């Protein structure tokens, strides 16, 4: 089984590639698996496994029982025809574990990277890696199993590394000037691990930097009493020296923080954001320096970007910058606004794009910021806004796939499609009322399908209901009243046709014409030959406008052709002056429990 997940930092847990639990009911079988995981990719002798499972005087059936346990493990782990997970090896057995499959191995990698970054003076990277490492822990190592001696030793080793990583994380927080966070959290950690002198030292530093000198000295006295009573020793040299420096008022204990402005420009996140868990997890794991979130108009690109940006804000201690390009702001205007918010006087910003971009890169050289750029049209808008070597993340949303940024700047691309029916129904419930949706669930699901899972269309249709039942709203969406149902008068931002038109007007004439003709199709799928027939041109000539529609997420390329959803066809037909296609009665998904 490829892509399996083994978790030992807490209760033993095994998940298949789809995330479903792998059930192992026999206790000794689970202990045997834990033994093999502790020595992953190394042979473990049969005699050692028997001794650890049954002690120095195993019963005669021990070897046969062990073989039965391991055969059961093979059955659940080797089900895809790949290389065996648990081959016999030199008088024993070896469990093959791929990188990223075992949480304890991933923890050690992240903790080591964090420690190295801290030693190198990169406290931002250190905090990111160490926080990620510690978040893998769900409890004590293998807390649901009786541990034989070999596993007790391994559990103790991992717990020691956990404490080392915890100490390094608080050291990183202090290096970043976040002594308030450290001062709030450290007393609980220190009380749980009172023999760790470095924790006492970190707590004293955090309290002192928070202006709580008396509390810092009281902390030293508690450490002194405890160490004498528990171990019969005096505090170490580091603790004693720190106490002396606090008493002497040593100014070097309070390093000056950078005086530069910390911009906090993120707009309010969507309060009823639903779904997109896979995309959020992808961004959480490793966003990278440049990410493009792309998808059709109204599909929820900005909502995803802002939801993730708010939850990840603390990973960017130097602040967040935000620019909305929909209003047509020039690149120089955006650069000037960014630089001014970072403390650069407006009079010192060069008037040219190249000059302002160079100053922007220099200003960001030693900072870690999150930069969110909303509704970009083309790659050349973005390139001057990219930092140089600074450890920043730039998050771009666009209806265009921005393939140039992927090809030349190595951008990661997150593609958004329609919401799943259950998620879109949940969104409709938050707009119209959960009770109404549960009462008229079938109608709610039909509304979602008539809106093709487009979050903007679902939101506007629900908010524009005007006292109707959901069944009556289905009738409107299925008829000529469709457009009035997805427009809130006087609010262009809440108009599905207006949002679609902003994409349409960015197309070439040939692409606009092809899109209008596709609006007359009675079905969602078509071939390149169908597109050529609509334009009355050759297959070769139709490829350019067709590729343009794919680039703007109006048409989706499939293995055997192309698809264009009902919502796009109805909007294209209406805005292009063609008869709108009749909606096909949707197939409803089962009622959710």
The CA distance from 116 to 110, in Å, is: 10
- Note whether residue 229 is domain-resident: yes
- Note whether residue 537 is domain-resident: yes
Contacts of 388 (CB under 8 A, 6+ apart): 361, 362, 364, 365
Tokens encoding 344: 């650069």
- Note whether residue 262 is domain-resident: no
Please say if the pLDDT value at position 469 is more than 70: yes
Render pLDDT for 40-84 as a digit per residue (tens, 0 to 9): 888 888 888 888 888 878 888 888 888 888 888 888 887 655 678
The CA distance from 188 to 324, in Å, is: 43
Residues in the chain: 593
Q: How many other CB atoms are there within 10 angstroms of residue 505's CB atom?
A: 9
Tokens encoding 121: 């003076």
**Last residue in a domain, options 150, 170, 190:** 170
> What CATH number does residue 399 fall under?
3.40.50.300
Render pLDDT for 317-351 as a digit per residue (tens, 0 to 9): 888 999 998 867 788 889 998 988 888 877 788 88
Same domain, 14 and 152: yes
- Mean pLDDT over 175-200 rounds to 90
Q: How many other CB atoms are there within 10 angstroms of residue 98's CB atom?
A: 13
- Note whether residue 272 is domain-resident: no
Same domain, 409 and 439: no
pLDDT at res. 85: 83
User: 545: exposed, middle or buried (C-beta count within 10 Å: 0-12, 13-18, 19+)?
Assistant: buried
pLDDT at res. 81: 58
Same domain, 236 and 193: yes
Same domain, 425 and 493: yes
Please say if the pLDDT value at position 580 is more than 80: no
Q: Give the up-direction half-sphere exposure of residue 520: CA atoms within 13 A in the CB hemisphere.
A: 13
pLDDT at res. 205: 93
Tokens encoding 263: 């911009």
Same domain, 411 and 337: yes
**Last residue in a domain, options 122, 140, 170:** 170
- Mean pLDDT over 213-237 rounds to 91
- Note whether residue 237 is domain-resident: yes
**Stretch among 49-63, 172-186, 480-494 having the lowest mean pLDDT:** 480-494
Same domain, 465 and 524: yes
- Note whether residue 265 is domain-resident: no
Tokens encoding 508: 């070439």
pLDDT at res. 591: 34
> What CATH number does residue 70 fall under?
1.10.10.10
Same domain, 132 and 40: yes
**Last residue in a domain, options 415, 447, 482:** 415
Please say if the pLDDT value at position 227 is more than 70: yes
Contacts of 125 (CB under 8 A, 6+ apart): 113, 114, 117, 391
Which one-letter DSSP state was computed for residue 346? G
- Note whether residue 270 is domain-resident: no
Among 224, 223, 216, 222, residue whose Cα is nearest residue 253: 216
Residue 186, classed as helix, strand or coil, is helix
Same domain, 191 and 155: no
Residue 434, classed as helix, strand or coil, is helix
Render pLDDT for 535-561 as a digit per residue (tens, 0 to 9): 898 999 999 999 999 999 999 998 888
Same domain, 226 and 300: no
Please say if the pLDDT value at position 587 is more than 60: no
Element spanning 323, H or E: strand 320-324
pLDDT at res. 480: 64
pLDDT at res. 86: 84
> What CATH number does residue 242 fall under?
1.25.40.10
- Mean pLDDT over 489-510 rounds to 83
Same domain, 359 and 499: no
Q: How many other CB atoms are there within 10 angstroms of residue 131's CB atom?
A: 17
387 φ/ψ angles, rounded to the nearest 5 degrees: -65, 165
Sign of CA dihedral 360, 365, 369, 371: positive
User: 291: exposed, middle or buried (C-beta count within 10 Å: 0-12, 13-18, 19+)?
Assistant: buried
Same domain, 84 and 42: yes
For residue 243, the enclosing domain spans: 177-257
Tokens encoding 7: 């978790």
- Note whether residue 160 is domain-resident: yes
Q: Can you give the three-state secondary structure of 286-328, one letter per residue?
A: CCCCEEEEECCCCCCHHHHHHHHHHHCHHHCCCCEEEEEHHHC
**Stretch among 249-263, 462-476, 488-502 having the lowest mean pLDDT:** 249-263
Please list the residues that pair with 15 across neighbouring strands.
Answer: 5, 21
Same domain, 426 and 473: yes
Please say if the pLDDT value at position 592 is more than 50: no
Domain count along the chain = 4
**Stretch among 20-24, 221-225, 300-304, 375-379 having the lowest mean pLDDT:** 20-24
């Amino acid at each position: 089984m490829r892509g399996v997940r083994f978790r030992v930092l807490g209760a033993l847990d095994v998940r298949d590639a789809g995330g479903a639990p792998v059930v192992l009911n026999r206790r000794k079988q689970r202990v045997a698996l834990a033994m093999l995981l502790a020595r992953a990719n190394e042979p473990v002798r049969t005699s050692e496994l028997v001794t650890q499972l049954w002690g120095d005087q195993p019963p005669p059936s021990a070897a046969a029982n062990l073989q039965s346990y391991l055969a059961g493990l093979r059955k659940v782990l080797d089900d895809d025809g790949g290389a065996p997970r648990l081959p016999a090896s030199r008088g024993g057995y070896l469990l093959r574990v791929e990188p990223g499959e075992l949480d304890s191995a991933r923890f050690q990698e992240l903790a080591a990277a964090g420690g190295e970054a801290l030693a190198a003076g990169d406290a931002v990277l250190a905090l990111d890696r160490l926080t990620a490492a510690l978040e893998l822990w769900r409890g004590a190592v293998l807390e649901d199993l009786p541990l034989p001696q070999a596993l007790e030793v391994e559990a103790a080793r991992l717990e020691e590394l956990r404490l080392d990583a915890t100490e390094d994380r608080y050291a990183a927080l202090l290096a970043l000037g976040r002594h308030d966070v450290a001062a709030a959290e450290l007393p609980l950690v220190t009380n749980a691990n009172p023999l760790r002198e470095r924790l006492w030292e970190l707590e004293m530093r955090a309290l002192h930097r928070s202006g709580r000198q008396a509390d810092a000295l009281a902390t030293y006295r508690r450490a002194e009493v405890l160490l004498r009573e528990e171990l019969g020793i005096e505090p170490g040299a580091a603790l004693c020296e720190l106490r002396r420096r606090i008493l002497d008022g040593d100014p070097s204990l309070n390093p000056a923080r950078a005086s530069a402005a910390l911009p906090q420009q993120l707009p309010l996140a969507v309060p009823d954001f639903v779904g997109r868990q896979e995309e959020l997890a992808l961004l959480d794991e490793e966003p990278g320096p440049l990410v493009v979130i792309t998808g059709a108009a109204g599909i929820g690109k900005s909502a995803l970007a802002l939801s993730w940006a708010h939850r990840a804000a603390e990973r960017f201690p130097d602040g967040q910058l935000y620019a909305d390009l929909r209003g047509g702001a020039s690149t120089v205007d955006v650069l000037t606004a960014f630089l001014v918010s970072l403390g650069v006087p407006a009079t010192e910003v060069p008037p040219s794009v190249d000059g302002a971009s160079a100053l922007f890169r220099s200003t960001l050289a030693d900072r870690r910021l999150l930069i969110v750029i909303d509704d970009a049209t083309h790659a050349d808008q973005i390139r001057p806004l990219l930092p140089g070597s600074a450890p920043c993340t730039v998050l771009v949303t666009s209806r265009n796939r921005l393939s140039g940024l992927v090809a030349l700047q190595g951008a990661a691309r997150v593609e958004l499609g329609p919401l799943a029916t259950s998620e879109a129904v949940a969104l409709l419930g938050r707009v119209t009322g959960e009770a109404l949706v549960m009462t008229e669930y079938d109608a709610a699901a039909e509304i979602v399908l008539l809106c093709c899972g487009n979050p903007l269309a679902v939101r506007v249709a629900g908010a524009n209901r005007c006292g109707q039942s959901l069944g009556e709203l289905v009738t409107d969406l299925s008829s000529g009243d469709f457009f009035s149902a997805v427009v809130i008068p006087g609010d262009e931002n809440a108009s599905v046709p207006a949002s679609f038109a902003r994409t349409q007007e960015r197309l070439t004439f040939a692409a606009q014409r092809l899109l209008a003709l596709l609006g007359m199709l009675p079905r969602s799928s078509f071939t390149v030959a169908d597109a050529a027939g609509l334009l009355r041109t050759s297959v070769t000539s139709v490829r350019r406008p067709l590729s343009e529609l794919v680039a703007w997420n109006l048409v989706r390329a499939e293995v055997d052709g192309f698809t264009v959803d009902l919502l796009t066809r109805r909007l294209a037909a209406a805005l292009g002056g063609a008869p709108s296609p009749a909606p096909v009665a949707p197939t409803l998904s089962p009622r959710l429990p």
